[in-house]
Structure 1
Amino acid sequence: MTGTTGHRSAAAVSGTVRRRGGLPAVVSVALGSFALVLSELLPVGALPGIAADLGVSTGTTGLLVVVPGLAAAVAAPLLTVVAGRLDRRPLLWALAAVTCLADVVCAIGGDLLVVLVGRVLLGAALGGFWALGAAVAPRLVPPEAVHRASSLVTAGIAVGTVASLPLAALVGGSAGWRTAFWVAGVLALVALAVQLRLLPALPATAVTGRRALVSALGSPVARVGLLATSLAFLGHFAAYTYIAPYLEGRAYLGGGAVAAVLLGYGVAGVAGNFLAGLTLARSVWGTVVGAAAGIAVVAGLLPVVRGAGVAVVVLVLVWGAAFGAVPLSLQTALMRAVPEAPEGGLAAFVTTVQISLAAGSLLGGVLVDGYGLSVSLGAGAVLAGAAVLVAAVAGRRGSRAPQRDQVV
Structure 2
Amino acid sequence: MTPTSTTPAQHGQRTVAPGPGPGTSPLRAWLAVIALGLGTFSFVTTETLPIGLLPSIGAGLDVSVGTAGFLVTGFAAVAAITAAPLTTLCGRIDRKWLLAGLLVLYVAGNLLAVIANSYGVLLGARVLVALAHGVFWSIAAAIAVRLVPERHAVRATALVLGGISLASVLGVPLGTMIGQRSGWHTAFAAVAAIGFVVLVAVLSLLPSLPAQGTGSLAALPRVLRNSRLRAAVAVTALVMIGHFLAFTYITPYLEQVTGISEGMVGVLLLVFGVAGFAGNFVAGAVVGRSVHGTLVGALVLMTGSLALLWAFGDSRPAAITLLVLWGLAFAALPVGLQTWVLQLAKEESDAASSLYVAAFNAAIALGALAGGLLVDSATGPRAVTAVAAALTACALLILLLSARSARTHNRAPARNLTNA
What is the TM-score with the length of structure 2 in the denominator? Answer: 0.84
Residue 2 of structure 1 pairs with residue 10 of structure 2: no
Residue 213 of structure 1 pairs with residue 220 of structure 2: yes
Alignment CA distance shift 1:311-1:113 (3 Å):
farther
Partners of 1:9 and 1:364 lie apart in 2 by 44
Partners of 2:333 and 2:319 lie apart in 1 by 21
Cα drift, residue 361 of structure 1: 1.5
Residue 293 of structure 1 pairs with residue 294 of structure 2: no
Q: 1:192 aligns with which of 199, 215, 220?
A: 199
After superposition, the C-alpha distances for 1:104-159 in whole angstroms (9 at most, x for unaligned) are: 44455556554433332232122111222331111112333323222221222221
Higher deviation after alignment, 203-212 or 80-89: 203-212
The residue aligned with 1:381 is: 389
Partners of 2:59 and 2:278 lie apart in 1 by 34
After superposition, the C-alpha distances for 1:354-389 in whole angstroms (9 at most, x for unaligned) are: 122221122222333344322333322221221121
Q: CA RMSD in A?
A: 3.1
Alignment CA distance shift 1:352-1:197 (3 Å):
same
Higher deviation after alignment, 255-264 or 331-340: 255-264
User: Would the aligned equivalents of 1:59 and 1:369 in 2 still touch at CA under 8 Å?
Assistant: no
After superposition, the C-alpha distances for 1:41-87 in whole angstroms (9 at most, x for unaligned) are: 33444556656766777666543332122111222122223213111
User: Would the aligned equivalents of 1:291 and 1:322 in 2 still touch at CA under 8 Å?
Assistant: yes
Partners of 1:182 and 1:55 lie apart in 2 by 21
Alignment CA distance shift 1:116-1:373 (3 Å):
farther
Cα drift, residue 10 of structure 1: 0.9
Higher deviation after alignment, 309-318 or 235-244: 309-318
Q: Secondary structure at the match of 2:142?
A: coil
User: Would the aligned equivalents of 1:51 and 1:57 in 2 still touch at CA under 8 Å?
Assistant: yes
Cα drift, residue 175 of structure 1: 4.3
Residue 277 of structure 1 pairs with residue 284 of structure 2: yes
Q: 1:11 aligns with which of 16, 27, 32?
A: 16
Say which one has the larger Rg: 2
Cα drift, residue 93 of structure 1: 1.3
Alignment CA distance shift 1:59-1:302 (3 Å):
farther
Q: Secondary structure at the match of 1:135?
A: helix
Cα drift, residue 307 of structure 1: 5.5
User: Would the aligned equivalents of 1:72 and 1:126 in 2 still touch at CA under 8 Å?
Assistant: yes
Q: Secondary structure at the match of 1:391?
A: helix
Q: 2:34 aligns with which of 10, 27, 31?
A: 27
Structure 1, unaligned runs of 5 or more: 404-408
Residue 395 of structure 1 pairs with residue 400 of structure 2: no
Partners of 2:99 and 2:83 lie apart in 1 by 13
Residue identity matched to 1:28: A
The residue aligned with 1:406 is: none
Residue identity matched to 2:381: L
The residue aligned with 2:415 is: none
Partners of 1:25 and 1:263 lie apart in 2 by 28
Residue identity matched to 1:380: A
Higher deviation after alignment, 185-194 or 219-228: 185-194
Partners of 1:60 and 1:303 lie apart in 2 by 31
Alignment CA distance shift 1:169-1:263 (3 Å):
farther
User: Would the aligned equivalents of 2:88 and 2:215 in 1 still touch at CA under 8 Å?
Assistant: yes
Q: Secondary structure at the match of 1:201?
A: coil
User: Would the aligned equivalents of 1:151 and 1:274 in 2 still touch at CA under 8 Å?
Assistant: yes
Partners of 2:222 and 2:334 lie apart in 1 by 21
After superposition, the C-alpha distances for 1:163-208 in whole angstroms (9 at most, x for unaligned) are: 1343245445544555433322222222122212212212111655
Residue identity matched to 2:307: G
Structure 2, unaligned runs of 5 or more: 1-5, 412-420
User: Would the aligned equivalents of 2:219 and 2:348 in 1 still touch at CA under 8 Å?
Assistant: yes
Partners of 1:253 and 1:181 lie apart in 2 by 31
Residue 123 of structure 1 pairs with residue 130 of structure 2: yes
What is the TM-score with the length of structure 1 in the denominator? Answer: 0.86
User: Would the aligned equivalents of 2:158 and 2:283 in 1 still touch at CA under 8 Å?
Assistant: no
Residue identity matched to 1:393: L
Alignment CA distance shift 1:376-1:283 (3 Å):
same
Residue 163 of structure 1 pairs with residue 170 of structure 2: yes
Q: 1:365 aligns with which of 356, 362, 372?
A: 372
Residue identity matched to 2:338: Q
Residue identity matched to 2:267: A
Identity of aligned residues (%): 36
The alignment of Structure 1 onto Structure 2 pairs a total of residues equal to 403
